[in-house]
A and B are shown apart, each in its own frame.
Chain A
Amino acid sequence: MKTKLTLALLAVTLTGTVSAQMKPEDAIKFRQSAYTTMGWSMARIKGNVEGTYNKEDVIKAANVIQAIANSGMGALYLPGTDQGTGWEKTRVKPAFFTDKEGVAKVAMAFNKEANEMAKVAATGDAAAAKEQFGKLSATCKGCHDDFKIKN
């Protein structure tokens, strides 16, 4: 009886794991949507540091980037999703799935600067925000250079 119950539980757990596994095309869509949303936020910060600085606006944008940076997006890079189409064809390089160390390095650099951006935004210091925006966008570039296909 006990064994049966355990087996049943195990079966449920396994099925659960399987059904929680998202579809590759969804994973790619989530990725692309997250980057697009960060694109909106980056443009928003840039508009503020180059024009009239609105503290609240920058805080909102920086918080979005920070949240996405800390969301564990790595989970969206399922094996086999080096190819495939979400909203559009994925532009990730195959190296992203093999060079684990390299990816971890650029991901951590981005994470650090995204957290710092949110911190700086909270102070409302426009000059500091501009400088931090530069550091943050350099970490975007760090990953694009190595792991994003430039057509």
Chain B
Amino acid sequence: MNGQRFRLWDLPTRLFHWLLVMAVVAAVVSGQLGGNLIDWHGRIGLFVVGLLAFRLVWGLLGSTYSRFHQFFPTPASLKAYLRGEWRGEGHNPLAALSVFGLLGLLTVQVASGLFANDDITFTGPLFDLVDKGLSNRLTGLHHWLSNLLIALVALHVAAIAYYGHFRKQQLLKPMITGWKEGEGEAARGGGIVALIVSLAVAVTAVYGTSGAWLPEPPPPPPVATPDW
């Protein structure tokens, strides 16, 4: 490999991406199968909360191409891109729509799951904070959005295949190695402090949504019930 290359995706962004891939696959499978896997579905959901919270902060503090500000799509940039006039590195304006779409959808998906119930024995960790009617509606939303999520992921994968095949742009490799072939400005920023802050926010988010802070129900007072 003699050609030029530059740093595109920092390690935390790549780790975030691939952990999210695994978590979403595991969540979809465990959610569809149910049974005892539903408990894992809940745990995976909390893990996704942590990933999303991390990415949100990393989008502000991370390195160049991971920052939301760098790739935030505007009508002007989208128009330019569709006319073939956009020049830049990182997420193109159209891909940026997909990034924000997926992050937004996943946020609503985990948020609704926190309050959901399956009318069997499983309830989301924050179920106790809402009444059953609202929980049912959120569960309905959670089910409905899972289809939309699968469709968006399929579109995301199809778009990568399209760019690789017809546009000769290898999008997969930089997301694995972090390097992109060609000329470009190397990603900067996103140091250790940014990483620690992002991780701290992620841990706090997981703690907050796990319901671990909810007051323990008082130990049931000894009551006498008929022994039949």
Contact = CB atoms under 8 A, between A and B. Distances in A.
Contacts of A138: 33-35
Interface stretch (B16-24, B102-110, B137-145, B147-155): B137-145
Contact of A137 (B35, B136, B137, B139): B35
B120 interface: yes
- Chain B interface secondary structure, helix, strand, loop or mixed? helix
- Chain A interface secondary structure, helix, strand, loop or mixed? helix
B120 A133 contact: no
Given A131-B36, A150-B136, A151-B133, A137 B120 contact: yes
B118 interface: yes
A130 B36 CA distance: 8
Nearest to B140: A150
B137 A134 contact: no
A131 B36 CA distance: 7
A135 interface: yes
Interface in B32-46: 33-38
Contacts of B121: 39, 42-43, 46, 137
A140 interface: yes
Interface string B30-63: 0001111110000000000000000000000000
Contacts of B119: 39, 140, 144, 148
Interface of B: 33-38, 118-121, 133, 136-137, 139-140, 143
Interface of A: 39, 42-43, 46, 130-131, 133-135, 137-138, 140-142, 144, 148-151
